[in-house]
């Protein structure tokens, strides 16, 4: 597997781990009325993990495109933000996922709220 594929595989694996940590720890520590802020600690965890493990999906892609000098910290920061979204990264990349279809329907105005069942 090439560098780009390995980078994506590592990012996806870490995103799933961040999602599980978020479900177990973050969701239990943040009160219900502040649930919209759960993205802050999960984004921080994703960014911290990306820098700690040197996860960068942007750098290898830019190198493949011929970019000579790539600032690793930019790629790691962006990768960390993507990882911080948890398994949404997988759902965004997987074309047949239910969450992706719901999100498209929500923004198209045919679904009131993502995750809500259609009547």
Residue 39 token pair: 């993205």
What's the rounded Cα separation, in Å, for the pair 35 and 38? 5
Query: HSE-up of 44 (CA within 13 Å, CB side)?
Result: 6
pTM: 0.65
At 38-48, the pLDDT tens digits run 778 888 888 99
At 67-106, the pLDDT tens digits run 877 788 888 998 898 888 766 666 566 666 566 667 667 6
Closest Cα partner for 58 from 87, 88, 78?
A: 78
């Amino acid at each position: 597997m090439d560098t780009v594929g390995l980078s994506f595989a590592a990012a996806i694996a870490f995103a799933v781990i961040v999602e599980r940590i978020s479900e177990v720890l973050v969701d239990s520590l943040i009160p219900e009325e502040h649930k919209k802020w759960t993205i802050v600690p999960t984004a921080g965890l994703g960014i911290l993990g990306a820098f700690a493990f040197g996860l960068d999906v942007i750098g290898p892609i830019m190198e493949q495109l011929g970019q000579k000098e790539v600032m690793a910290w930019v790629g790691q920061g962006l990768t960390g933000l993507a990882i911080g979204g948890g398994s949404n990264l997988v759902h965004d990349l997987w074309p047949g996922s239910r969450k992706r279809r719901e999100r498209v329907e929500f923004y198209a105005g045919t679904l009131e709220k993502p995750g809500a069942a259609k009547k």
